[in-house]
Amino acid sequence: MRSQVHDIAQCVPGEGVAGNHIAITGSPSVAHSAFDVDGVLSESAAYAIAAMDGLGSAPGDDRSPRQIDLDHLLAYCTTHTAVDGAPVPAWADLSGVYEAQGGRHLQIHCNFEHHAAGVVRRLGCAADRQAVAAAIAERDVFELEAELIDDGMIGAAIRTLDEWEAHPHATATRSHPLMSVERLGDAAPSLPRGDGGLPTHDDSRLDGVRVLDCSRVLAGPVAGQMLARGGADVLRLGADHLPSIPVGVMSTGFDKRNASLDLRTPAGREAMDALLDDADVWIDAYRPGALAEHGFSPERAASRRPGIVIVQISAFDWDGPWARRRGFDSIVQSTTGVRWAGGVHAVDDRGEPTGSGPVGLPVQALDYATGFLAAGLGAQLVAHQRRVGGSWLGRVSLLRTRNWLVARGGPRPYRPASVPVDPRFLATVDSEFGRLTTVAPFVGTLGAPPRPLGSSAPDWLS
């Protein structure tokens, strides 16, 4: 993993990150896909672990060998979760791919109730799958996509790879690096937190690093959980009036506390300022500009808290005509040709095309890989800040991760299959949700169980 981790780490200024102590083991190929899902997930995960292992260590220090079992990693990325033996659903009833006019297809994402209501309202039909399918079948896929985007809903015309390459947003974002970094201002190098603010000198990875995790689905929570498992104090911050997806809260909530604030109120904004004023890392995974609309921009955070590291995550990036478009992993796949390619190149046991229509990646690989990259970016920037100072902004997006995936080669013929979840990778713990079964971490041990949203005070632990 040395060269792969090194290449990713070159996006960040400074000393870099070495991944020579990390080995990938297990099956040579786990994810059945037209694209290199295994490589993207294993390399981004190795980068995150290497960056966290490097925090607090001098360059060249020997690090304990680590192994990432590819079968375990891919099982982890299935978001497999059950409560009291009952699987927690990952998709709402109306979510999915529908056929439109002319044999084209549209995907709608209705896991939030207001998104489902908005789609039904736009279609003017009953709120059941049969009625939605009938209404979409009568529509032009690109016209309906544009209407849903204008409504603030989540819909995507399933494009071919060539159609996406010719799209103005693809043109505007094609040259973006996998991760980008910007210095926001000057600040003295920070010392690791310890007694009286003195350095700890114990190579304790992320112990004492305070991470404000402003995220919901799914890449941001994955980043926060990775940092929490590296020893950081992670406070996930949401709002009671915003919807959530239970399976995401449970599967990515280990080792975090969950607090709520309402940034529409003066009290909520004051509390947010207090949290940012004492944070080391701020994960902003909301739609670009959403938190800035409440006064919380990266520039303002850096001016109030010099030395802060900010990691922003988005779906469609920050430039181009769709910079503020809402989106999730599966929507990016559909929009950019990945789901189309998955259908065209799917074959049966005889190597014949299945003709089954669009097929997505076997796991939410864009979400998980982007989350791993964001965690590594945050850790690497904390280490860089401690060496040279400054306030820093790092950015990753599902679209950039998609471009990385596609650039690795393919699409190629493959036989579709789900990612197996071997029982030996599962762990069961008691939680406030019930008896919770999920996939154990692929590195390290299972920590404190997830807590309900809003169950913690919006402050840092003393």
Q: For the segment 93-131, what is each residue's pLDDT rounded down to a tens digit?
A: 999 999 999 999 999 999 889 999 999 999 999 999 999
Q: What is the pLDDT of residue 57?
A: 60
67 has pLDDT over 80: yes
CB atoms within 10 A of CB 348: 12
pLDDT-based confidence at 435, cuts 50/70/90? very high
Q: What is the pLDDT of residue 353?
A: 95
203 has pLDDT over 50: no
CB atoms within 10 A of CB 249: 23
330 has pLDDT over 70: yes
257 has pLDDT over 90: yes
pLDDT, tens digit (0-9, with 9 covering 90-100), for 274-301: 999 999 999 999 999 999 999 999 999 9
DSSP state of 283: E
Three-state DSSP state, 404:
helix
What is the mean pLDDT of the segment spanning 426-450?
94
pLDDT, tens digit (0-9, with 9 covering 90-100), for 181-190: 999 999 999 9
59 has pLDDT over 60: no
Are 41 and 77 in contact by the 8 Å Cβ rule? The answer is yes
Sketch the domain layout of the chain as residue ranges: 1-462
Q: What is the pLDDT of residue 194?
A: 62
24 has pLDDT over 80: yes
Q: What is the pLDDT of residue 195?
A: 41
Are 211 and 375 in contact by the 8 Å Cβ rule? The answer is no
Three-state DSSP state, 235:
strand
210 has pLDDT over 50: yes
The values of phi and psi at residue 340, to 5°, are -60, -45
pLDDT-based confidence at 55, cuts 50/70/90? confident
What is the mean pLDDT of the segment spanning 54-61?
63
198 has pLDDT over 50: no
What is the mean pLDDT of the segment spanning 228-251?
92
pLDDT, tens digit (0-9, with 9 covering 90-100), for 7-18: 999 999 988 888
- How far is Cα 33 from Cα 410, in angstroms, rounded to an integer? 9
**Arithmetic mean of pLDDT over the chain:** 93
pLDDT-based confidence at 304, cuts 50/70/90? very high
Are 155 and 325 in contact by the 8 Å Cβ rule? The answer is no
Q: Helix, strand, coil shares of the chain as percentages rounded to 5?
A: 35, 15, 45
Q: What is the pLDDT of residue 1?
A: 63
C-alpha distances (whole Å) from 273 to each of 209, 211, 231 are 18, 14, 24
Q: What is the pLDDT of residue 461?
A: 76
Q: What is the pLDDT of residue 201?
A: 33
Identify the CATH homologous superfamily for domain 1-462.
Crotonobetainyl-coa:carnitine coa-transferase; domain 1 (3.40.50.10540)
56 has pLDDT over 90: no
426 has pLDDT over 50: yes
First-last CA distance in the chain: 38
- How far is Cα 279 from Cα 232, in angstroms, rounded to an integer? 11
* Of 57-61, 84-88, 184-188, 246-250, minimum mean pLDDT range: 57-61
What is the mean pLDDT of the segment spanning 168-190?
97
pLDDT-based confidence at 140, cuts 50/70/90? very high
Q: At 269, which helix (H) or strand (E)? A: helix 266-277
410 has pLDDT over 60: yes
Supply angle C-alpha 12, 14, 17, rounded to 5: 70
199 has pLDDT over 50: no
- Torsion angle (degrees, nearest 10) of CA 287, 290, 291, 294: -170
Q: Which of 280, 234, 201 is nearest to 447 (CA)?
A: 234
Are 70 and 30 in contact by the 8 Å Cβ rule? The answer is yes
Q: What is the pLDDT of residue 62?
A: 60
